[in-house]
Every structure is written in C-alpha cells, then in structure tokens.
Structure 1
C-alpha cells in the first residue's frame, strides 16, 4: 500500500508488532455516525460492525479506549478549529452527538472513554500516560475520520513512541478520496495498515492479559 515515491525516498520500513496492544476507537459517537443527529455524520455502519469484531477480540488481551470529541455549551474550548468547521458547534458535551454509538460493544466495567477537544486523541488528554502505564507496545487504531482525527492520533502515537497499527476495515471517512489517500500516507510514513482478518489473526495468537482488564 505504500506509495512508490515514498519507498524510493526510504520510507520502506515496517513497524514491529508488539505483545501488549491497546485498542483506540476514535470518535465513533452519534455526532459522526448518525446523520439525523449532526451534519458532521456519515454512514459508518460497516466500520462500526468491523470495530465490534476487533473489540471482542481484544477482550482479555489489552485495554479498549474510546475517544469522544465535545465542547462546553459556550464553545470556549473549541479554539480556532471552529473557524474551519462551524458544524463542530453541534458537539456539546452531555448531548446526544457526544454519546458513543450504541451499536458499539462498549463495556463500562472495563473500558475507558476519553473526552477530547481537538483532532488527536493525545492532545490535552491522559492517553499517553494511560498507554505507558499499561506498557503498551502496539496501538491498534479504529474510528473516524481517516483523514482527520484518525490520522492526527496516528501521527501523535508515533511521536509518543506507541507504534500505531490501523485496521483498514475499522476506519472510515465522509470522503472516499481522503480515506484512501490518508491510508496510503499513514502506511508510508506513520503506521502499519492491516485488513481486519489479518489483525484478528494477530490478536488470536496473543495470550498476554492486559493490566487494565
């Protein structure tokens, strides 16, 4: 999947698969998955279904962490991002757009929900510390959107030293063109990109229990 020009430039390495993975499910909240709830939403059904298979496979292996983006009612914590996308004002904490998609296999007894205000799930959150405490050496990534919050989180994961592994079937974007181009970009420079079946096979071979489960 890597771009030939990037390969010629030396971007031809492969991240090492770890033994203590965590799963990060980015922004599969109603404001992004239900078109009747927010103008930001698109049809994420197939990616949500695929992500549930990934969540189920992670049980007993590593922590499952969900991120949700939302703001105070007065938008004081939105920052300049609102200048690029006015629809972000529909994401008010405590309202339906900031609820997890109810189809997700979220387990309140063991899973964690992180609230964020910007694209990366690392920015302004405790995510890096949580992953370090769990001794995570492999961050599996699902969610939306591929070109936005997924990519931003993947770049930060690389920069914080948590090798990111994006599951292609489990990420989605309202723009098919941006979805494909960003998968190529991440695969070339910042992450490994796997099909769901391949990642499920990797998880099936793992027996190390998570410190958080």
Structure 2
C-alpha cells in the first residue's frame, strides 16, 4: 500500500475506534489490569523467518527495522539491567511433509505455510541476531499460535514468581494475540508493548491492539514499559517465593 492509502486506512480505523470506544465504555469494558510486582518479557516469533525478508512469514520490514527491533533492544536492556526474566519464543516443525501420515503440524498446515519453517534449518527459526538471547534467557519452541498452548511457559513463569508478562513480537492478529488471551486466562497480568508488535497486513496491528486493550490486556508504549522495568528490581527465586 502507498503512504496515501495507509494514511486513509489509519483515518478510517481511528474513526471506528472512537465510535467503538464509546460502546465499550458504556458497557464496562476497557478496564485496566495494571502492572504487577514481578515482570517477564515474552517475545513471540521474532525469529529470522518473520523478521528478515524473503520468507512467506516475513512481516512489515519498515516497522520491523525501525520500531520493533529497536523497541526490543530497549526492553532487553532494561530486563537485563534489572534481573527480569526473558523468554524468546519461536516456531518450527520437525515433520514438514504435508502428506506425511504423522506430523507435528496438527492441521494448521491446511491454512498457512507452516511447512516452510523447518526445524532442520536452524537459521529460519533462530532468534534475530539483533535481539539474540544471552546467557540466562530461555528460548521456547512452540507448535501452535499461542506461546502457552501445549508448552511449558506457564509453569516456567509461575516457578519464577512472575505475575506480569510484557508481550512483544508477531503477528498481532495471531500468535501475539493468542499468547495475550491465554496469558490473562492463566492468571497473568498481560501487557502488550505497542511499538514492539507487528504484522504482515496493513491495519492488523492497530485493530488488534485496540481490541486487546478493550478486553484482554493493557497496551503500553515501549517507554512506559522500560520505565516500569527500571522501577522494579528482579527478585531471586527464593525471594519471590
């Protein structure tokens, strides 16, 4: 889409959000879940297949390079300086033959090209080198949209006393949204980090963040989240217990 088309789309979305906000407010939505005392950063699918050009999963490169990656770097710096847990989430499949009698893809390959994220090609599912994990951070491999579905994520967070998750990554309409929905359902305070969430489709980020903020979590800017991370020191496991 051209810049003119994007501006018109933004204008239309803002009009729709303004009208929807009135409905939500009248009916008791848009409440705040708030920040807790023990945060963790959950970064969803910021791996090369999504962050770099040339893959069917590639997301908006301008936003990725100019907003998401720089935003993640600020968040990671704050987490690392203050002892907050970081979980890098990625997605890959061991059996990528769509006609195989047994597969770890479930039926999702009937909808999207999950077969192009091959576990054997580590470069595809490796976390982008600009935000690469450091010692003490965890890389979680998932098979479904949600970072919680069928994974150890909730258990790891609870074992480390986490009550708040700051969620970043791609895509807003699928893996990020599903992670946030499951996060609040599992009892975590869910925070969507505005500038650090992307998608492939114009308008998808704005719409999903608006709807998430109304029903499933709070949307905060990178700067607001960094200030929060810097305001609270990470606890040792023993202290958290």
Name the TM tier (shorter chain): over 0.9
Equivalenced residues, count: 209
Which residue is equivalent to 2:46? 28
Question: 2:34·2:218 contact (CA, 8 Å) conserved in 1?
Answer: no
The CA distance in 1 between the partners of 2:109 and 2:21, in whole Å, is 32
CA shift digits 1:123-145 (9 cap, x unpaired): 11100000110111111111111
- Helix, strand or coil: the match of 1:110? coil
* Structure 2: gaps (5+ residues): 1-16, 98-102
Q: Is 1:163 aligned to 2:189, yes or no?
A: yes
* TM-score normalised to structure 2 length: 0.82
Instruction: Tell me the distance in 2 between the aligned counterparts of 1:169 and 1:3.
Output: 21
Q: 2:130 aligns with which of 103, 106, 110?
A: 103
Unaligned runs of 5+ in 1: none
Does the Cα contact within 8 Å between 2:95 and 2:105 map onto a contact in 1?
A: no
Task: State the structure with more CA Rg.
Answer: 2
Q: 1:185 aligns with which of 198, 206, 211?
A: 211
Match of 2:86 among 64, 72, 88: 64
Matched position secondary structure for 2:89: strand
- Indicate if the aligned counterparts of 2:96 and 2:116 stay in contact, CA closer than 8 A: no
Task: Map 1:1-213; keep pairs closer than 5 Å.
Answer: 3-36=21-54, 38-42=55-59, 43=61, 44-45=64-65, 46-59=67-80, 60-75=82-97, 76-85=103-112, 87-95=113-121, 96-107=123-134, 109-211=135-237
What is the root-mean-square deviation of aligned Cα atoms in Å?
1.6
Tell me how far apart the structure 2 counterparts of residues 80 and 8 of structure 1 sit (CA, whole Å).
40
Quick one: distance in 2 between partners of 1:83 and 1:90?
Answer: 13
| 2:3 corresponds to | none
* 3-state SS of paired residue (2:195): strand
Q: Secondary structure at the match of 2:118?
A: coil
Q: Check conservation: 1:172, 1:179, Cα contact below 8 A.
A: yes
Determine if contact 1:146/1:178 at 8 Å carries over to the other structure: yes
Hey, what's the Cα distance between the residues in 1 that align with 2:202 and 2:129? 24
Kept in 1, the 8 Å contact 2:133–2:139? The answer is: no
Indicate the structure with greater helix content.
2
- The runs of 4+ residues in structure 1 deviating greater than 6 Å are none
Contact between 2:95 and 2:104, CA under 8 Å: does it hold in 1?
Answer: no
Query: TM-score w.r.t. structure 1 length?
Result: 0.93
* 1:72-124 C-alpha deviation (Å, 9 max, x unpaired): 13351111211111x211101131211111111420x2000000010000011
Residues of 1 paired with 2:29 and 2:129: CA distance? 39
